[in-house]
Amino acid sequence: MNKRKAIYPGSFDPVTNGHIDLIRRARSLFDEIYVVVAQNIEKQPLFGIEERVAMVKRAIRQMKGISIQSFDGLTVSYARKVGAASIIRGLRATSDFDYEFQMALTNRELAKDVDTIFLMPSETHFYLSSKLIKEIAERGGDVSSFVPRFVAEGIRKKFQ
C-alpha cells in the first residue's frame, strides 16, 4: 500500500502552538508528514536553522510519522524528493490568502503532480504568527501562552 505523504514547509521562527496544531491535524490526514524548516534568504531569522529544527523536533517529539529536516530550495523539489504528493499550508486570515494562492498556483505550474492543501488553524490559534510573537517578546511581553515553554525561554534569552 502506498503511503500518503505530505510536506509542511515554513520558517518556524519560532515554532508556535499554531504550527503544532496544524502538524497534528495534518498527521491525521496523511500517513507521513515531512516538516520542512526552510532557509529564507529574504528573512532575518531570530533563531538559526539548526535551532529551529531542534525546536520543532522537541515540540512534536511525542507524535509518530513525522520527520523534520531543513531544506534550501524549491518546496516542490523537496516534495518530489520524499515522494510527497501534497504541500500543507496554513491559512490564518484573508491576508494570507493572496500570497498562498499565488504560491500554490506557481507550485502547480512547476510540479503538476504536487497539490497544495490549505488547512485553517483551530480557533484558539487563528491569530498566531511567529512575527507577532517576536514583536511581543521584543517589547518585553509574555509569549508563554503562544509557544511551548522551552521556546518561550529561548525567545526570552534572545531578547535579554
Q: Which residues are catalytic?
A: 19, 43, 92, 130
Sign for the pseudo-dihedral over CA of 33, 37, 39, 43? positive
∠ Cα 30 32 36 (to 5°): 110
Peptide bond into 148 cis (omega under 30): no
Contact 108, 116 (CB under 8 A): yes
Question: Among 114, 159, 101, 137, which residue's Cα sits nearest to residue 16?
Answer: 137
Contact 9, 36 (CB under 8 A): yes
**What whole-number distance in Å separates Cα of residue 120 and Cα of residue 55?**
22
**Rounded to a whole number, what is the distance in angstroms from the first to the last CA of the chain?**
51
